[in-house]
Amino acid sequence: MNQSGIRFESFGLSHPGRVRELNEDRYLIAPRSGLWLVADGMGGHDAGEIASSAIVEHLSTIGVASSAPDLRARFEDRIERANTEIRSIAKARGGGTIGSTVAALLTFDRQFACIWLGDSRVYLARNGGITQVSRDHTEVQELLDRGVITPQEARVWPRRNVITRAVGAEEEITTEIELGQIFPGDVFVLASDGLTAHVTEPEILESVLQNNAETACRRLIDTALDRGGTDNVTVIVLKCHDASADEATVVPASAWGARHGG
């Protein structure tokens, strides 16, 4: 898929892990729409699977947008529809909480928008380094931000997996967004916490720099499984290649529309 001189090479893979029988993770790769997404369901029994599947089903109808604001509006519309559906299902099942994380990457004209809720993550590998673009919506992250615990304590904190935002958890959802420019050579990695529980950022970086998208995905999944695979694990790797000798027109990040959330 070409987009203003950028050619995208992407691959996704999901595995139930070594401990759980049911895979409640889902992912979506829709390069024609400029959308890549990971959803990690929660709620017990088969409820998490219902939530993550609803998100993917709604987002798969996003189509091809005419502009960055149009793409963002389409995304937000589908997420709100999924939220309504998930809450209706939860009510019909007795009122318990059913929900799912979302980590999504939207691209349009060499610009990206990272939109997320929960602790599924988006990483960006660039110029030999790696950055976590998203920021976990978890109790442990809030404690870290307030200086209550140290990063060392956070790794073993008893409630480190308790998330504070999810699609389906509240009547009105609040996404968080990070905007940026895409450069040839960039590599985005979207993953559920089943990967990041076992694989470090330097290891993610090494894998995506040394391999194509498919091989990197498979090796990251295999590493998580070799180290216990205590949760469902899902990974998408998106490599951005230079598809044009001419410099494409760069659209400013504000083209996505007014920034909100957070």
Q: Which residues pair with 42 in a beta bridge?
A: 99
Statement: residue 258 has pLDDT above 80: no
Q: Give the lowest-confidence range in 69-83, 102-116, 180-194, 242-256.
A: 242-256
Residues 6+ apart with CB under 8 A from 109: 3, 4, 68, 248, 249, 250, 251, 255
Per-residue model confidence as pLDDT tens digits over 140-198 = 888 888 888 888 788 777 787 789 999 999 999 999 999 999 999 999 999 999 999 99
pLDDT given for residue 160 in this prediction = 75
Is the pTM of the predicted complex or chain greater than 0.75?
Answer: yes
User: Is 19's pLDDT higher than 50?
Assistant: yes
Total length of the chain: 262
Tokens representing 236 are: 């998408």
* Burial of 97 (C-beta count, 10 Å sphere; 0-12/13-18/19+): middle
Residue range 75-97: mean pLDDT, rounded: 94
- Given a cut of 70, whether residue 46 has pLDDT beyond it is no
The predicted structure's pLDDT at residue 117: 97
Mean pLDDT of the chain, nearest integer: 91
